[in-house]
Amino acid sequence: MRTGEGKTLTATMPVYLNALSGKGVHVVTVNEYLSERDATEMGELYSWLGLSVGINLAAKSPMEKKEAYECDITYSTNSEIGFDYLRDNMVVRAENMVQRPLNYALVDEVDSILIDEARTPLIVSGANAVETSQLYHMADHYVKSLDKDDYIIDVQSKTIGLSDSGIDKAESYFKLENLYDIENVALTHFIDNALRANYIMLLDIDYVVSEEQEILIVDQFTGRTMEGRRYSDGLHQAIEAKEGVPIQDETKTSASITYQNLFRMYKKLSGMTGTGKTEEEEFREIYNIRVIPIPTNRPVQRIDHSDLLYASIEAKFKAVVEDVKARYQKGQPVLVGTVAVETSDYISKKLVAAGVPHEVLNAKNHYREAQIIMNAGQRGAVTIATNMAGRGTDIKLGEGVRELGGLCVIGTERHESRRIDNQLRGRSGRQGDPGESQFYLSLEDDLMKRFGSERLKGIFERLNMSEEAIESRMLTRQVEAAQKRVEGNNYDTRKQVLQYDDVMREQREIIYAQRYDVITADRDLAPEIQSMIKRTIGRVVDGHARAKQDEKLEAILNFAKYNLLPEDSITMEDLSGLSDKAIKEELFQRALKVYDSQVSKLRDEEAVKEFQKVLILRVVDNKWTDHIDALDQLRNAVGLRGYAQNNPVVEYQAEGFRMFNDMIGSIEFDVTRLMMKAQIHEQERPQAERHISTTATRNIAAHQANMPEDLDLSQIGRNELCPCGSGKKFKNCHGKRQ
């Protein structure tokens, strides 16, 4: 539905219809200003129709959020819905969850959220214990000492790596024999991030430095700063080192999800946009939703001029300023769209020098967004906006402006997505109003550099056209063809990301479903815990099945002593002469007695349920956090398997499945150990969770440390079973500490 055709009003019909089910409707917007505006304006209509309306804001308390989600219709931003979903799956008690099951979503500016931000992972993280700020400073200092020949940048894919001379300098700087030795993997990670921070990520384009000396990410599609968001995997810390601001602690991911998988969980999904037709295939393939264009109420009268191409950026901006000044002098309002904050500041200085009063809207003053956009259609108004940050806010024409040709939109370069260009154009010519649009390009623009500006450069030089422009429909078509190629590349990337993320999605759904079952259980969880104990015993005994009889019995005995039973309660004689099946049964029966003894220390049935829940949840959360980290490392490593003619996605799926099964085994092992070995004390209920949590955490840490000191580890192979009896390979258990 074209911009200005009344999407907000039209949305009331499907929202009202789906809200009648009583299962909840989420109206999703790109920012909180639009959530509050639409909820206030449309809320009166819904209230009159007998429906309740809630607004979910980031600053609200869990209780207020819960009330908002309980309403028939809830207005919220996409990010807040995602973070609430993740936080709900980290709570220990069901009453602390705020969301209902995801039922129906209507997404405003659906292309911005489901396409542009599809790859953006929402991450909930906790502090990492390892201090790394010094390494970031060292890597940054080294990278800043490099010459242009020491690194290689691929402009098309925006990747960077060291050249041979850069590698030699790194080995000299860090005093290494071989930079890419397996022992230096961590260091290369810091160097790679420092390279990206210094030579790929640009100040005032990708990020800005706030007055509080913080690095704020700039949303490339809306031009707004993304408060509270940080680049992951150490890139944010590398940028902090580059800019000389305090380096914040690295974090470890506790939970994550992409918008692709978040919105595919809704039973019913729909959306609205003025520019979705170009992404029809992606909406259908990934989200299973069709794109239906709605005709405009009145014919579009806007005149879209052919692109003007200049030889240099300097010549292009000179022409832009001259055009803006001429239109300002006759009173026609002008909206200048830029791709970067840096560009908007540059044009602003040029306009000041030319004596043209104007407003600037970018990531640095987004708080005045609505006010600036509201006045942008008045006679003589000149507004510079980065990536049309005013999406969702109408530009209404002032008195006498129609006679002057309406609002003129000037684009200072083409975006890599046609949709973003169309959104800029769409600010003019709403509801049959007159208007104009004109894009100014140069051979030095990023998009032109990526797709064959060299050939055109020769034409300019031959014709001696350093200050003049080329204008033709053919050029406009060529630029759009280049944009199509970029969009195709980006779609392929998003599709591949989804293939990887689907592995995590399936595993996340299993873990979260089991977690939800534990949280909401109003029953004794003894059968579940006892089943875990039984399976753990089975895994340990089976894991030693091929060992010599004496070695096998010693390993099983160690496991029983240090993880299952009181140390002096079982001897080698108790197990001698028994078959593997009989050993399993013997250990399980003894374990049941210990279990009953542990449970009897708790004062009543409620305390038992509380202990069981917290025990399971704490172990699951710790292991899931480690598993997310391991999957992330696997994903970085698996790409190299493509060189061995293996499909990286298939390898990732197979390896990820194996790791998930290992994690389940590890969860059951730790639940068994903690249940049998935890020191349980009577406490008042309000402190019970905190006490159990502390005990659990301490025991998890002790899981590897608490092993008999007289065991000789020097002769054990990396792939042999660990003598502590955990059932894990030595390299994954006590071998890590060797």
CATH of the domain at 379: 3.40.50.300
Dig out the tokens for 115 from the structure.
């396409």
> What is the C-alpha separation between 5 and 1, in angstroms, rounded?
7
CATH for 223: 3.90.1440.10
Instruction: Confirm if 114 and 287 have CB atoms less than 8 A apart.
Output: yes
Closest CA relative to residue 673, chosen from 523, 524, 552, 532:
532
Q: What is the DSSP string of 508-545?
A: HHHHHHHHHHHHH--S--HHHHHHHHHHHHHHHHHHTT
What pTM was computed for the model?
A: 0.76
Same domain, 121 and 136: no
Residue 322 lies in a domain: yes
Half-sphere exposure of 211 (CA within 13 A, CB side): 3
Hey, how many other C-beta atoms are within 10 angstroms of the C-beta on 527?
9
Same domain, 50 and 163: no
Same domain, 278 and 318: no
Dig out the tokens for 169 from the structure.
């300098």
Hey, how many other C-beta atoms are within 10 angstroms of the C-beta on 652?
21
Residue 352 lies in a domain: yes
Instruction: For CA atoms 445, 448, 452, 458, give the dihedral sign.
Output: negative
Hey, how many other C-beta atoms are within 10 angstroms of the C-beta on 403?
10
| Boundary of a domain, candidates 409, 439, 471 | 471
Instruction: Confirm if 153 and 275 have CB atoms less than 8 A apart.
Output: no
Same domain, 447 and 379: yes
Structural domains of the chain, count: 4
Residue 514 lies in a domain: no
The CA distances from residue 669 to 379, 523, 664, 676, 678, in Å, are: 73, 22, 9, 11, 14
52: phi then psi, degrees, rounded to nearest 5: -95, 145
Task: Please report, in range form, the residues annotated as the binding site for ATP.
Answer: 4-8, 394
Hey, how many other C-beta atoms are within 10 angstroms of the C-beta on 445?
20
Same domain, 245 and 282: no
The CA distances from residue 575 to 462, 555, 562, 583, 696, in Å, are: 93, 12, 16, 6, 30
Closest CA relative to residue 223, chosen from 385, 373, 34:
385
> Which letter does DSSP use for residue 116 in this model?
I
Same domain, 573 and 717: yes
> What is the C-alpha separation between 638 and 635, in angstroms, rounded?
5
3-state secondary structure of 203: strand
3-state secondary structure of 405: coil
Hey, how many other C-beta atoms are within 10 angstroms of the C-beta on 19?
24
Same domain, 350 and 437: yes
The CA distances from residue 161 to 133, 181, 195, 312, in Å, are: 22, 16, 8, 29
Give, for 88, the enclosing helix (H) or strand (E). helix 78-88
Same domain, 553 and 681: yes
Dig out the tokens for 709 from the structure.
């000191």
The CA distances from residue 371 to 35, 136, 481, in Å, are: 17, 41, 36
Same domain, 274 and 194: no
H helices present in 576-647, as ranges: 580-600, 605-638
> What is the C-alpha separation between 543 and 562, in angstroms, rounded?
17
The predicted pLDDT at position 367 comes to 60
Half-sphere exposure of 557 (CA within 13 A, CB side): 16
Enclosing domain of residue 551: 521-737
Token pair 């129609």 is found at 402
> What is the C-alpha separation between 184 and 163, in angstroms, rounded?
17
CATH for 730: 1.10.3060.10
Q: What length is written for the chain? A: 738
> What is the C-alpha separation between 317 and 18, in angstroms, rounded?
50
> What is the C-alpha separation between 422 and 426, in angstroms, rounded?
6
Residue 45 lies in a domain: yes
Token pair 């599709």 is found at 495
Reading phi first (left if > 0) and then psi (alpha if -120 to 50, else beta), residue 333 is in beta
Instruction: Confirm if 105 and 270 have CB atoms less than 8 A apart.
Output: yes
> What is the C-alpha separation between 371 and 359, in angstroms, rounded?
10
Instruction: Confirm if 201 and 207 have CB atoms less than 8 A apart.
Output: yes
Residue 89 lies in a domain: yes
Instruction: Confirm if 334 and 354 have CB atoms less than 8 A apart.
Output: no
Residue 453 lies in a domain: yes
Q: What is the DSSP string of 641-699?
A: GGGGT--HHHHHHHHHHHHHHHHHHHHHHHHHHHHHH-------HHHHHHHHHHHHHHH
Same domain, 605 and 583: yes
Same domain, 279 and 200: no
The predicted pLDDT at position 613 comes to 92
Same domain, 72 and 179: no
Longest dimension (CA), the chain: 103
Instruction: Kindly give, in sequence order, each residue whose CB lies less than 8 Å from that of residue 410, ignoring residues fewer than 6 positions away.
Output: 320, 323, 324, 334, 335, 336, 337, 437, 438, 439, 440
398: phi then psi, degrees, rounded to nearest 5: -80, 180
From the first residue on, what is the mean pLDDT of each consecutive set of 10 residues in the chain (738 residues)? 84 97 95 89 95 95 96 96 95 93 95 86 72 86 93 74 90 86 74 92 88 86 74 87 88 85 96 87 92 89 90 91 96 92 90 94 67 86 77 79 94 86 86 92 82 64 68 78 84 87 93 94 92 94 87 89 86 88 94 92 87 92 88 78 74 93 93 84 48 40 43 54 58 58
Instruction: Confirm if 356 and 324 have CB atoms less than 8 A apart.
Output: yes
Q: Using the CB atoms, write b or e for 450-473: b if 16+ within 10 Å.
A: bbebeebeeebeeeeeeeebbeee
Dig out the tokens for 124 from the structure.
């909930």
The bridge status of strand 104-108 relative to strand 73-77 is: unpaired
Dig out the tokens for 215 from the structure.
């690095």
For residue 264, how far is the Cα from the chain centroid? 15
Residue 490 lies in a domain: no
| Boundary of a domain, candidates 434, 450, 471 | 471
Instruction: Kindly give, in sequence order, each residue whose CB lies less than 8 Å from that of residue 145, ignoring residues fewer than 6 positions away.
Output: 169, 173
Residue 138 lies in a domain: yes
> What is the C-alpha separation between 84 and 98, in angstroms, rounded?
7
